[in-house]
Amino acid sequence: MFETNKIIGSNFECNLQSGESEFLHFNHRNGTQIILKNFECNGFNEDGALLQKLKVHSTLDNYSASAELFQTIPFGTEFENRRNFDFCDSFARVIVDVNPGIGAVEKLKLEDFEICGEFNSLQVFFIENNQVKMEKFNLSDEHVVVNQENRFVLAFNVTCRDGVKFECGAGNDLWRHLAAENFENCSNRFMIEGNSQKITFSRQILAFENSEDAPRKRSWRLKYYFAWDDYVKSSSDIDYCKIALSDLIGDDCSHVNSLASTPCIAAPLCRRSLRNMLRKTDKSIELAANLALCTDASHLERSGDNQLLHWGIDDFFELSIWATKLLSKNNLYFRFAIQDDLLAELVGLQVLNKNLENAIETE
């Protein structure tokens, strides 16, 4: 059965569909297209999937929209795949849940992220030894393959000839994207390839050499995002009250980033303090914060683990929407000031640093 639903913003139109080899088609007004193709689990993909649910919803204030796509693969162990989407003005988050039923996930390949347009350059942000590094590539008609060393790709972005940028990156759950490193005889692969007309990002999350080594009845959740940056709402005439997250939190060490001497915005103390402050303020707020990598599992309220690599992109996204909606009731504004020059180049952070437009609709 084929069904489709649509999410529309100020500069894009996104179609979600079932029963096809691609489940998402994103069309930007400059002609750039993003296509998310079906994922693969244990050698099966979603081409013959049975649709259980496809639904979109926009909020009354039109600041955000959400969607759910739930499908069952009628082969093998008949595993289930559920995706949840969250959209705001220039940012979209995807949450993928894979349930193998009574079986095991022996091989898991996340959906390919394919972007087509006219591009000048490519930036790739890698993680090496728990540090973020960036490399830049000029694009031409010649085919290029990036990341032969199989470093983990935190994010990548392309710049179009008209200056518009598009990006795809991992969610806060970096430890899940790197889960293969915790198992014996298990590998992963992160590859970017293409040219100035098309770039494809492929993500092999798990590939066990022996099926007996794969944990049975274990479900998997993975998060990622994509973002685009051509809409800028001028805020030069807004008088922001500038607040640093480190000053707001105080001397409590439970929030400290394990890999840097800055607060981790994913820590429960940070989240509570920020929301309490925003509920009470009568000013527009510019929050100075850092998005550095962190391994403290207590920030994720995972008591059974000591170290889980994560970063705060989901917290930035959720706080940006929540604060924008809250402050807009009093004609106030919210934005971030990123305290890391390298991460400040990420498109996902740049668009969340700007005032979000309430222009999201669904069909």
Which tens digits make up the pLDDT trace of 10-20?
Answer: 889 999 988 67
Q: pLDDT tens digit string along 139-181?
A: 999 999 998 788 999 999 999 999 999 999 999 999 999 999 9
| Token representation of residue 300 | 């994720």
Tell which wins on pLDDT, 205 or 230: 205
When pLDDT is averaged across residues 239-263 and rounded to a whole number, the result is 78
Residue 246 — φ and ψ, nearest 5°?
Answer: -65, -35
CB-CB neighbours of 145 under 10 Å: 9
- C-alpha to C-alpha distance for 88 and 357, rounded to whole angstroms: 8
Q: Which of 107-116, 124-133, 227-236, 339-348 has the lowest mean pLDDT?
A: 227-236
Domains present along the chain, CATH in parentheses: 4-228 (2.70.98.10), 240-362 (no CATH)
Q: pLDDT tens digit string along 268-323?
A: 888 899 999 999 999 999 998 888 899 988 888 776 667 899 999 999 999 999 99
Mean pLDDT of the chain: 88
Alpha helices in 221-312 (DSSP H): 245-249, 268-280
The CA-based angle 233-238-243, given to 5 degrees, is: 105
CA-based nearest residue to 83, from 65, 66, 101:
66
Tell which wins on pLDDT, 212 or 304: 212
- C-alpha to C-alpha distance for 221 and 200, rounded to whole angstroms: 22
Task: Name the percent of the chain lying above pLDDT 70.
Answer: 94
CB-CB neighbours of 6 under 10 Å: 15
Looking at residue 315, its pLDDT comes to 92
Q: Which of 97-101, 118-122, 164-168 has the lowest mean pLDDT?
A: 97-101
- C-alpha to C-alpha distance for 314 and 86, rounded to whole angstroms: 11
Looking at residue 1, its pLDDT comes to 44
Looking at residue 21, its pLDDT comes to 78
Looking at residue 4, its pLDDT comes to 67
The answer to whether 203 and 114 have CB atoms below 8 angstroms apart is no
Q: Is the pLDDT of residue 119 over 70?
A: yes
Looking at residue 161, its pLDDT comes to 94
First to last CA, the chain: 19
- C-alpha to C-alpha distance for 359 and 155, rounded to whole angstroms: 26
Looking at residue 125, its pLDDT comes to 96
Q: Which of 122-136, 214-228, 242-256 has the lowest mean pLDDT?
A: 242-256
CA-based nearest residue to 362, from 92, 64, 84:
64
pLDDT interval class at 235 (50, 70, 90): low
Label residues 307-323 b or e (16+ Cβ within 10 Å = b): ebbbbbbbbbbebbbbb
Specify which residues 24 forms β-bridges with.
16, 36
Task: Name the percent of the chain lying above pLDDT 90.
Answer: 56
Looking at residue 231, its pLDDT comes to 53
Q: pLDDT tens digit string along 58-91?
A: 888 888 999 999 988 887 777 889 999 999 989 9
When pLDDT is averaged across residues 88-98 and rounded to a whole number, the result is 93
